[in-house]
Structure 1
Amino acid sequence: MKRLATIILERIRQHRHFIIYVLAYMIALIAVCAWLGTYHMISFDMYEVLPLTAVLFFAAVLLGRYLNMALVTRPRPLLSHMRADFKVLFEERFLTGLPILLLLPVFMSAFTAFKSLIPVMNPYTWDPALYRLEELLHGGYQPWELLMPLLGYPAVTLTINFIYAAWLFTMFMVVYWQAFSLSNPVLRMQFFLSFVLCWSLLGSGMATIFSSAGPCFYERLLGLDAYQGLMQYLQSVDEQHPVWALSAQDMLWKLYELHKLALGSGISALPSMHVSSALLFALVGVRTHWVPGVALSIFFVFILVGSVHLGWHYAVDGYVAIILTLILWRLAGIWAGRLPLGEGRILD
């Protein structure tokens, strides 16, 4: 028991900067809600399923190792090797990931609350400016119009819709992978520091300053049909096969009208956190191995294109997210490189 307590305290020490940042973000939410008088929007338990699914993920990995021992390597005595393997995995991997797995759901719950408060703190006013900026940057055209000759086919749209919907699953898998990873402590911490920096500074701070709803909500918000062509196309595809993005957009708008906080609630366009987080996945993948690097880079491109094609975001939302995420990634690398994490190096 003393050994276990020592290991847990060491893991807390290694993650102390991450822990302090998350606690500061929680305090910021409480302070904002006190300022606005919206105490009912304080929530830290909307993503409580994350630790449970992480345990299941770890158990699946453990089962795979045990099956490999029993059927392939067959060490003798088998049970002794299994017990020793479990002890190493539990102490080195599971307890290393525990601070992340306990605090990240709290952080994401606070983020959801912050996102739902954006129109309360600063009503949506930037959409017309972003619409004009889109045309200015793209030769007088809207980006969705430029993409339509390439993507405007039901099969292509449904493929993009499927991959875009897989974003949440992909995020969980990358988070679990890095939470339990021991191969490069600096890269691991760089990822998690980048993660909380991007979601808080970009997804909460910048999103509040440049409060905007996005193309799919343009008509509902402003009464203008600037994106009618795109939305009519998506609805025509939806009549044949479900376009999940449309039902998700309807759900978010209803929650917005009801001023209700729920899992995944909140509307915000600039910057795109789907693009920002997908870029983080690609960056950590590229710096680990070429296989996850290629796979997650392709996923990032689909998210970037899909954010425009499915009406979620202006292309500018993605451009800004990419630039600022790369900056925060670099800063997080410098930060992580100065922490006592073990072997590793600062990564660009």
Structure 2
Amino acid sequence: MRELLRELRRGAAADRAILLALCLTWAGYVALLAGKGINALAPQTYRLNFNLYLAALLVSLVLGMASVLARHRPASPIRFVAASFVSSGVSSQLVRGIPMLLALVIFLPVFGSMKSAIPLFSSYTWDDTWIALDRALHGTDPWRILQPVFGYPLVTSILAGFYHLWILLIYAGGVGFCFFVGDRQLRAQFFVAYFACWALLGNGLAITLASVGPCFVGPMLGDPRFDEQMAYLKAANAHYPVMTLAVQQQLIDWYTSGSGGLGRGISAMPSMHVSIAFLFFLAMRRISRIAGLLFGAFFVIIMIGSVHLAYHYAVDGYVSIAATWLIWLAAGAAARRIARADGAVELPVAPSGAGLARSAEASTAVPQRDS
């Protein structure tokens, strides 16, 4: 137990600069919201967020160990798994990541409360500007340019499915960088950029340049310019499920009823879907070429989907990409300072399946069946 407490302190010390900045930001948000009569400390949202991160962590561990067991088929699986955790240092590694996981748990709910409170800080007055800019850049509404290629019900349904898979970046991706990325500088750069994107783009720019987006200009602002696009999406939904339509309606209902909370805010500029997808592409290409290609493809799908599914104007995504790239560069400079302050020590990454197997075999002498 003492060893695990020591690892917990070590993890908190390694991430202290990021955690301190995040705590100050969180406290500022809570104070701002309190000034508008909003209680950002309601426990249910934090509990929900914690459960989602915990589920993502457990699924990651179960899948990892299942992969190891499938490849090595030990005679005593439980003993093999237990020995793997002890001898490979996975338990210590998991404890070191707890402070950053808790930071993720407390941050997103207060971010969600701030996003839901945009109308209290600003008015949705920028949609005309973004529509005009989109048309000036593309000659027409960008969704019309995409329509000949993506305007088929099955394709639209698939894009909507991928758009919903984006949530895995938040939970599975967050857990991955918390616990399983051993490059200390890359991990620090990712989290500095991650929190900065949410705060500066998702709150700062979203309030300053408040707009609702194509799917909401009709019901919220009485603007009919995207009725044709929405009519197509509803017609496509009659053939194949377009999952985003139900979410868009739920967001409108929450807005109408004044219900705030995690995932309930409406804001078009800038697109956080595009920003976070692009951030993961920038980070994952540093891990491997294949990861970079996969996350790059996912980012492109999200960018296209954000326009085709009527959530965003194209310029929402362009601004997100440029701003996220600048934040990533600044986060790199901050990460180098953090790494130097910590002696550039790398946190051990979770061993591969073969490494876990060798560690377990050495410590338990469990006989293995032939593969």
Same fold (TM over 0.5): yes
Q: CA deviation at 1:65?
A: 6.3
Q: Counterpart in 1 of 2:357?
A: none
* Distance in 1 separating the partners of 2:336 and 2:63: 29
Q: Counterpart in 2 of 1:249?
A: 248
Q: What code does the residue aligned with 1:7 have?
A: E
Moved more, 7-16 or 36-45: 36-45
**Residue segments in structure 1 that go unaligned for 5+ positions in a row:** none
Q: What code does the residue aligned with 1:39 have?
A: N
Q: Counterpart in 1 of 2:52?
A: 50
Over residues 57-115 of structure 1, what are the superposed CA-to-partner deviations in whole Å (9 max), with x where a residue is unaligned? 3531553366158527x8xx998875443124444421232122222021011110010
Moved more, 312-321 or 151-160: 151-160
Task: Quickly say closer, same or farther: Cα 1:8–1:221, change in 2 above 3 A.
Answer: same
* Distance in 2 separating the partners of 1:172 and 1:156: 26
Q: Counterpart in 1 of 2:364?
A: none
Task: Quickly say closer, same or farther: Cα 1:234–1:54, change in 2 above 3 A.
Answer: closer
Q: Counterpart in 2 of 1:67?
A: 69
* Distance in 2 separating the partners of 1:79 and 1:42: 40
Q: Counterpart in 1 of 2:209?
A: 210
Q: Which has the higher contact order (CA 8 A, sep 6+)?
A: 2
Task: Quickly say closer, same or farther: Cα 1:67–1:241, change in 2 above 3 A.
Answer: same
Q: Counterpart in 2 of 1:259?
A: 258
Q: What code does the residue aligned with 2:65 have?
A: L
* Distance in 1 separating the partners of 2:80 and 2:227: 63
* Distance in 2 separating the partners of 1:216 and 1:66: 46
Q: Counterpart in 2 of 1:174?
A: 173
Over residues 183-202 of structure 1, what are the superposed CA-to-partner deviations in whole Å (9 max), with x where a residue is unaligned? 31111111111110000110
Residues 115 and 267 in structure 2, CA contact (< 8 A), matched pair in contact too: yes
Q: CA deviation at 1:232?
A: 0.7
* Distance in 1 separating the partners of 2:181 and 2:41: 37
Q: Counterpart in 1 of 2:146?
A: 147
* Distance in 2 separating the partners of 1:34 and 1:225: 36
Q: Counterpart in 2 of 1:93?
A: 93
* Distance in 1 separating the partners of 2:64 and 2:294: 25
Residues 198 and 328 in structure 1, CA contact (< 8 A), matched pair in contact too: yes
The answer as to 2:37 corresponding to 1:37 is: yes
1:1-348 equivalent positions in 2, closer than 5 A: 1-39=1-39, 45=46, 46-61=48-63, 63-64=65-66, 67=69, 71=73, 82-87=81-86, 88-139=88-139, 141-339=140-338, 340=342, 341-343=344-346
3-state secondary structure, aligned to 1:48: helix
Q: CA deviation at 1:152?
A: 0.9
* Distance in 2 separating the partners of 1:145 and 1:166: 25
* Distance in 1 separating the partners of 2:142 and 2:102: 40
TM-score by structure 2 length? Answer: 0.85
Q: What code does the residue aligned with 1:241 have?
A: Y
* Distance in 2 separating the partners of 1:80 and 1:34: 51
TM-score by structure 1 length? Answer: 0.91
Percent identical pairs in the alignment equals: 34
| RMSD (Å) for aligned C-alpha atoms | 2.2
Q: What code does the residue aligned with 1:96 have?
A: R
* Distance in 2 separating the partners of 1:177 and 1:302: 22
Residues 134 and 314 in structure 2, CA contact (< 8 A), matched pair in contact too: yes
Q: CA deviation at 1:250?
A: 0.4
Q: CA deviation at 1:31?
A: 1.3
Residues 271 and 321 in structure 1, CA contact (< 8 A), matched pair in contact too: yes
* Distance in 1 separating the partners of 2:175 and 2:243: 26
* Distance in 1 separating the partners of 2:298 and 2:119: 30
Residues 25 and 110 in structure 1, CA contact (< 8 A), matched pair in contact too: no
Residues 275 and 303 in structure 1, CA contact (< 8 A), matched pair in contact too: yes
* Distance in 1 separating the partners of 2:84 and 2:137: 56
Q: What code does the residue aligned with 1:184 have?
A: D
Q: What code does the residue aligned with 2:152 have?
A: Y
Over residues 231-258 of structure 1, what are the superposed CA-to-partner deviations in whole Å (9 max), with x where a residue is unaligned? 1100100122221111100000110111
Task: Quickly say closer, same or farther: Cα 1:137–1:5, change in 2 above 3 A.
Answer: same
Q: Counterpart in 1 of 2:361?
A: none
Q: What code does the residue aligned with 1:317 have?
A: D
3-state secondary structure, aligned to 2:130: helix
Q: CA deviation at 1:181?
A: 2.1
Over residues 272-294 of structure 1, what are the superposed CA-to-partner deviations in whole Å (9 max), with x where a residue is unaligned? 00000000111111111122111
Over residues 210-269 of structure 1, what are the superposed CA-to-partner deviations in whole Å (9 max), with x where a residue is unaligned? 011100001112212111111110010012222111110000011011111243100000
Residues 199 and 273 in structure 1, CA contact (< 8 A), matched pair in contact too: yes
Task: Quickly say closer, same or farther: Cα 1:308–1:60, change in 2 above 3 A.
Answer: same
* Distance in 2 separating the partners of 1:86 and 1:219: 55
Q: CA deviation at 1:4?
A: 2.1
What is the aligned length? Answer: 340
Over residues 152-174 of structure 1, what are the superposed CA-to-partner deviations in whole Å (9 max), with x where a residue is unaligned? 11121111111111110243222
Over residues 16-38 of structure 1, what are the superposed CA-to-partner deviations in whole Å (9 max), with x where a residue is unaligned? 12211221122112211232222
Task: Quickly say closer, same or farther: Cα 1:232–1:94, change in 2 above 3 A.
Answer: same
3-state secondary structure, aligned to 1:265: coil
